[in-house]
């Protein structure tokens, strides 16, 4: 559940910031497209980081039990 939340949050924040930049600067739809892609990339990076952290924690726990 956490991984999907991390991913969706990155996309929503990127899209929201893109929409705000487009409204503020009148550059529609370019701000939305660029910041949506950056949000997607940030979401993917957050998922990879969280998955790696979860894996290292599970490895630590399984190593301590052996």
pLDDT single digits (tens) 3-42? 899 899 999 999 999 999 999 999 999 999 999 999 999 9
Backbone phi, psi, residue 28, to 5°: -55, 140
pLDDT at 2 over 70: yes
Q: What is the pLDDT of residue 65?
A: 56
Amino acid 23: pLDDT: 96
Report yes or no on whether pTM surpasses 0.85. Answer: no
Cβ 35 vs Cβ 18: under 8 Å:
yes
Distance CA 39, CA 41 (A): 5
| 66 has pLDDT over 60 | no
């Amino acid at each position: 559940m956490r991984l999907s939340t991390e991913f969706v949050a990155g996309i929503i924040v990127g899209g929201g910031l893109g929409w705000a930049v487009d409204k503020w600067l009148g550059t529609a739809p370019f701000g939305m497209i660029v910041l949506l892609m950056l949000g997607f990339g940030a979401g993917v990076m957050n998922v990879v980081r969280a998955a790696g952290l979860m894996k290292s924690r599970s490895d630590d726990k399984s190593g301590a039990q052996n």
